[in-house]
Structure 1
Amino acid sequence: MEISDELISDENIKIAKQKNFYFKQSDELYRSLFEEAIDGIVFWDNEGNVLMANQSALKIFECTSEEFLKGNIWDFVLEKNDHFNSLLKKFYELGEIRDELLFLMPNGQLKQLEFTAKKHFVDGSNMTIFRNASERYKMEKELRESEERFRKVFEGTLDGMVLWNRHYEIIDINPVAADFLKAERDDIIGKSIWDILEDHYKHEIKIHIDELERLGTSDSTLTISSEDGNKYFELSSKGNVASNLSLTVIRNVTEKIGMQEQLQKSDTLSVVGELAAGIAHEIRNPMTALKGFIQLLELSMKEDHSMYFKVIMSELKRIESTITEFLILAKPQAIQFKDNDMRKVMNETLELLNGQALMNNIQFNVEYANELPYVFCEPNQMKQVFINIIKNAIEVMPKGGFITIKMDNKPSDFIHIVIEDEGEGIPEKKIKRLGEPFYTTKERGTGLGLMVSYKIIKEHRGKVEVESEVGVGTKFHIYIPVKRN
């Protein structure tokens, strides 16, 4: 069967019309995509001259179509530095690049633009798609600055900080916390909390973490024993501060707790002083009458009752001694500070106590440094301190022994006096309470003697430290400043 030339011609015309229609539709489609694209699209020649740009590009570059078409695409780049030159070289060698640069708009505005460029995309022209990354760049910059600020706070704070995850692994730790744990930061990161804690602290930490998981926050105080005495650390934790991480802040509150204890002692001292001022004179007046009448009765007392008389007089003296200590606390004493040789003051004190020491089979062992500076002090008050401490030493040595008194000038700003006994010693937990009113380690005692002694040393701007070992004995270290305060 033969097909006429006329039919073939009609078919070709039909196909050609369809192609023209599709080409026209495709052209309109691409033009529509080009014009309505969210990203800026720019066509340019090998010299960088702008050939065509869509509306998004004009908006990004803050130009009209006429202004933009007259320009060169690279004229908008802020800095033609080595990085820019290497980008152009790479583009012409590889035919495509993807990067970010800072562009300067005609109105003076700076924009960080990310772009993708293709070489000879159509008809020998090059195409670049631009996207405004200024907001993202700004957010990233703010995020970096925020992270840097947090890092500076994290690293530089005076408190210890530990970041750990829900598996109890340490993600980060600052130098202060690492110092608290006596370890290197790099050795701790990645380890479990339970691996770095000593066994006897794990129970307290578990209670702390259980409360954190239950309530979202937890606060507690951890007591750590050391050679220098107990140290107290305040733990404050907050769960899920970021990405399933918990933050624990560690604060050394040893000094704070010490101040609180000192304040409590001061409050008690104030109450005792007020109490003493109110009742001391009321007790002393009838005491004076009792002593007078007993002395009168002594003249007519039979020998059989002399023992009772001695007991009564002994107890009255003890009551009078207690009243005297109350009065010292209750009101300021008439004192006169002057330069004194502390060795002379101590020797005069030992002479007063020598008889009592001999009766208890106790000897004084004295060791003084050869040259000691004079101390600006009130000698009678210092004698009162030495009497109180040495009498206590005598009373805790019922089987006799030696009481050693040492005196030197170390450190050089102080006279250092050591009074050492060979008694039973004092448990560590009781040492802290020495100097509190009515606290004593003796069966018969008020605790006021040491309280008065601590008060006198404090008024001389000195300090008292107690060192004791159960079964061995006790040392009282007294430091009195040499210079006038």
Structure 2
Amino acid sequence: MFMERINLLRDRNGLLIKILWIIYIIDLVFYFSLDPIKTFIWPSIGLIIAISLVIILKSKAPPVFTMYATILGLYIFFFSLNYFFPYFINYIFIFLGIILTSLYQNALAIVFSGGLATSLLIYFYTENQELYAETMSEIDLIYYVLFGLFTVIFLLFYSNYVNKLWVQAYKRENEAKEALFLSQEYLQSIIQHTQDAVVVIDKDERVLTANQAFERIFGIPIEKNLGEKLDILPKRIVPLAKKQLQKVLQGERLIAIETKCLRSDGEEITVEMTLSPIYNKEQSIDAIFVIVRDITQKKETERLLLESEKLKLAGEIAAGIAHEVRNPLTVISGFLQMIDRDPQKIKQYSSIMLGEIKRVNEIINEFLLLAKPKPQNFLVCDLTDVVQDVLLLFESECNLKSIVLNTKLSSKPTILKCEPNHLKQVFINLLKNAIEAMPKGGTLTIQTDQTDKNTATVSISDTGVGIPSANMQLIGQPFFTTKDSGTGLGLMITEKIIKDHQGNVEIKSIENIGTEVIIQLPLKK
């Protein structure tokens, strides 16, 4: 706070000295142009005072000393004017000293100025009483002094009030400048030290500024390209980039757009771009702030991870197939050996071997459907019709196993663009699972509904044995099954078919309470 007052006082000293120079020059011009009596004495005194005050100001003397020296120099100048030219107007000019001193907003300075002004008024009235007798009397002198006193009192209160405002304003200005400086420094530091490329372009796509990361990623020296357009996009992407740029110029912000860019050596890299508009004080867009992140290495890592996952899955499936196929082959091999010992029992054992061969065939067919599905022929269908076709296949089985079939099908059209045979396979798999989960009977509920204008939902729930919480994480993994005759591929195929239809599958289950499978599919737009 103390330094703020000192700096403020120093600024006011400089301002008042500038005002004195202006007053001196204007007075000098009028004097040499209009006054018939010419002398160089008071102009020389005024020039000496003005130059001396400038020297004191530049010498970095204490601001308080400079303040009193400036006030004293002002009254010395007024004294010389009245001494050499005792005009009544120069007498009145003495009051100007009090008014000019109020610029300091300092009580001591105003009192000091008021004392000097009163002393000069009394001195010149006494010395030039005969000259002023025609225009003023003794009582006028008293009122002149009283006017000066009132002026001092008013300026004391006024300066006290304004000085507080001025100090507060000065403090806030310095705080704002400091905050702005720190903000600019922080922003500049962040921009220069970030690993992402940052570039600012104008509305005509010319470069205004960029950071070092931009030069490092693209190999383009920015200093040589300021004011130029950057050619960093492959030609096939330019039309789309123009459209996106127009969106930003209309005020839209585009975040993490994945695209391709070219380095200066022609190498193509994968990047994420974020584009934000920059507004001026009139709230119109002047430029575009662009952040570019090189994700080439990240995409390559993701690709390698995906390949690794594919290899892992292929290994798991191969191990599962080997295990699942080995069991039937072991049975077939054993019965062949038994037939070799006793050929008379070939008819007795052939049916068992055919059953095992059929099981191997089912495993291979399901694996082929999962690994290399048939070409899909998407048609426009009503979901309710597809579900009803499947329900016809299970009505008799449900009756035989004491299962109550409860259907709640939507009365609204639920039109999908789908492969109906694949969807039927999904519902057959899920209904078979539900029926097998209720060996002692129960309730099987199938419900279709239109969740919103874009989504259809199918819910299949049972009151069966449920799925233990320990097994919930394993559901959908290849060859995981709790059935004696299951392959463990049914749910994988179901999830793949639903995913191919841009839908999703959710399974909820409570052990000994039941299971619910919820399928969501997009409606045809």
Higher normalized strand content (fraction of residues) = 1
Q: TM-score, normalised by structure 2?
A: 0.42
Q: TM-score, normalised by structure 1?
A: 0.44
